[in-house]
Each structure stands twice: as structure tokens, then as C-alpha cells.
Structure 1
Amino acid sequence: MTDLRVKGDVTKSRLLDATEHWISEKGFDAVSVRDITGLAKANVAAVNYHFGSRDGLLAAVLDHRMKPLMEMRAANLHGLRDDDGVREILKAWSSPLVSIFASSGMSELAYCRVMGRAMDVLALNIFTEVSAANRLVDATLLHCMEQRLAGMTQSEISWRLHFATGAMIHLLVHGVTTQADFRLSTAMEFWIDATAQSFAANEGLVQRARSSKNPLARRKTKPTAPILQMAEVVSAVMGADEIATNFIPVTTATESKQDQEKAEQQLGYGELFLF
């Protein structure tokens, strides 16, 4: 009986390892039972016996890799101090990816691809139990950010985090193949810097006149260098002749409606929203 149990555990482990290999190479959608059993040197019956189905096996990989990540993220976020800022929050959420890699038993390439693709799949809510747990962690992240960014709405913060998460997924899945000197720890630092800067830049860049009757009204502010560079890229792509130093004309008491429309036309590309 002991020999059979040990043999079964070995087969189960080989199936999990083979599944992770093919997820790294192909992604969740493209992995087939034949791929898995061929690499694991097992039969289809073994998949059904240990995991119930192909989806059960994929769910087991998600649980195996993402549960420790979510637990560490939740613990880090709950352990933040009141005076910790946006950068500290982002580090608390992202740093477990680096910590877990050391004990993953995987190459950096395979680990990054599996974790990036696992994060992507969680957002699709196909594997409901794991996805629900991940949403709780994301809700904690959003709450922490809201407490530090009183000048932004929940929707604005949520969208920025959505874009930042997408950037992280892309970094994990493709960064190791596009950067010859890629290192996960260094990449996470760049991600933290870029994401923190996006929140800091926005806070002083666009002040909505929420109580204004004119929904187009904005406070005139001078764009920071990175934002101006982004504006130049957009302008070049859209064929604008000049870069406007203010993102939207501000209607004053002496400016007529016709002047406002003319100013908008001169921009060539309308409003530039950086959300």
C-alpha cells in the first residue's frame, strides 16, 4: 500500500511539473492533456484520478503557485504603517513575486511566464475559487491606495492599477525574452518606480473642476517632462503640428464659446486624457 501511495504521489507531482512546463511554453489555453501526459510519462486516467479533469489539473497549478503569493501579498498589505506611501504599498504587493521565486524550484524564465500567465487567467474568473481569493487581495490593495490618494476617485485609482497589473503581466511573460540581462528583482523595481510615478504625476497634473458646470474645464498646469514626452509621442502619431503645453483649453470669462471651439480644433487631436 505504501509503495502504491508513493508511486501515486510521484505521478501527481510529475503531472503538475509537466503542466507548469507547458503553461510556460504555450499558456493555459493551449495546454492539452496529451502534452501533459506525454511529458509526465503518464496516462489520461492518471489525470482524471488525481485531478478529476484537465481543468482540475490547471486549477491545481493555479492554487499551488498563486495561493502562497496571495497570502504574502495580503500579509504585507495588512502590515503597512499609516505613514507608508504609494511606493511602499506597491512594493508590499509586488515583492512576494521575487521572494517566492527563490524557493520555486523553477528557472527564472519558466517561473516568470507561469506566474504572469496565472495572473492573467485569474482575471478571467474561469477558476472561480482562486479568482475570488485574488479579488479580495486586490480589494485590499485598492483600499490602501484610496487612503493615500484622497485627491483621486476610486475609479481613477482602480483603472491605474488595472493598467499597472497589465504591465506587470506583460513584463513577466515577455520581459525575459526581450531583455538579455533580465532579472526579476530588477524588473520589479522598475515596475514600482514607473507605477508610483504614474500616480504622483497624475496627482499634480490634472485637477478636475468637479463642481464646474463645464465638464471640459481643467486647471491649467505645467506638464512634467515625462508627461510632455508622452504628449509629443501622441502628437506625432496623430499628425498634430504642435505640442500644446496645456492639455485642454480653459474657458475664461472673456473667452467666447467660438474661441473655445477654435482652440480645440487647433490642438488637432482634442483632449489628451492620461488615465
Structure 2
Amino acid sequence: MVYRAVSGVASGQLELRLKLASSLSGLCVLSGEITRCIDTETDNRVDRVACRRMHIRSMVAIPLVHSGITVGVLKVMSTLVGTFDPVDEAVLGLLAEVLGADMFFAAKYAADDLYYRVTHDGMTGLANRALFFDRIRNELARVKREGIEFGLLMLDMEGLKAINDSYGHRTGDAAVCEVAKRASHTLRKSDTIARLGGDEFGGILQPTNGMSFLAEGVEILRKAICQPFQYESRQLMLGVSIGAAVAIKDGLDLDALFEHADQL
């Protein structure tokens, strides 16, 4: 058990750790029931060392439950003996219902947000290099298992250095984001577009429906990206070079596919 929010007599105890099996908070989690201590000096269920350190003599612990899952404990403490009664338990129980839902969704969305930040480019919002290569490996495994081909695209943005040198990196970043937006809007929802770093992007087309489909898709993507870009009263020219490879036609090895795409 770890203190994540504190106030009053518990101030200064943030991150304090308590053993699940030998604390009133742990018992509250394990039982799922409101647990009250009248006097910490005579109650063997409490972590007496922690209570003495904070000068706690009585407390009540209320499980924070959402959808049948105990996500934490609300613990209210006092330096006096016998401070809390059943009325306090009832009032705190109502508060715990709200806090339980808040903590459940906070933990859920924090995990989702962490996964997103680890797998996506912070500037463009596209998949990042790690997610891109993970998906390619999954597609290669699927090709070998099911024989369904996919297309690999390598995109190099042209003219970014000139934009940075002439107008500054803020304008250059805006140009990168515009290329990312145009690429993601042009490709299908089943496709993946990723920023691999700097002015380099990668794409996974699934399925490709043959080489002619891939070539047509490359040309549509090129035309979409190479339109003029208006930014802060300036009209900038955007350009891109695109290489493509198809598994199974161009190989079933990651290095071979990238080498083929880089040659075009």
C-alpha cells in the first residue's frame, strides 16, 4: 500500500509504504469492507510503527470500489482515541463511491496515455519508429502464416533543411506536421503511417491488392503531399520522395524489404 494523496496529520507522508498483510489499509482492501480502529495501541491489525510515527490513535479505512474492483482505500485518521463512529463511516462511504470511480478511470486513462506516448511521435501524433517496426514484424509473421501480402513505403521529405535555414525550426516543424497530416488523411484507416525521425516517414499498406494498386497509391500520396503549404503568410513548397516494396514479391525479410524500398 502506498500513500498517493495526503493532508492534515498525514502531511509529509506522501509515498509512505505499508505492508498489505499487516496494516488496516491492507485489511480493508482484502476484505472490501469498511474497517475502523478505536485505539491503535490496542488494535493488532494496524501497522503500529507507522501509527506511532504519525501520532495516530484512531482511524477508519473505507474501500474505494468501482465495478466490483477495489482500487484503493480512503483512510481518515485522528491523534485522539475513539474519534470515529458509524455515522462517520456512512458519510465517508458515500464519498468513497465517487472517489472509487475517479481513481478507476484515472488509472485506466493514465495507462492508455502512457502507452500512447510510448508508441507515438510527440510532434505529429503519428506512430513512432518503435510501433512501426513492431507492426512490420507482425505483418511479416502474418505473411508467412497466411500468405497475405502488404506494402512497405519509405518517405523522405524534401526541402526541410532549406525551410529550417530560411524561416526557422518552428516553420520547419509546421511543415513536418503538414506532411504527416496529408499522408495520414490520404492513406486508408487500415494502413499505418509513422514518423521514423526528422524528415523520414514510413508506411504500411494492408492489403496492397497487387503492385499496380501500390504504384497508384504512391502517386496519389505524392500528389497530396506536394501541394503548396500556406503558413503564416508564407507559401512553402513541400516535396517527398517515396520508395516502395511488397512482401511477398520483394522478399520476406525485414532488411530485404527496406533495401528494396530505399532503392526506388
Please give the TM-score of this superposition, normalised by the length of structure 1: 0.23
Larger helix percent: 1
Q: Which has the larger radius of gyration?
A: 2
Larger strand percent: 2
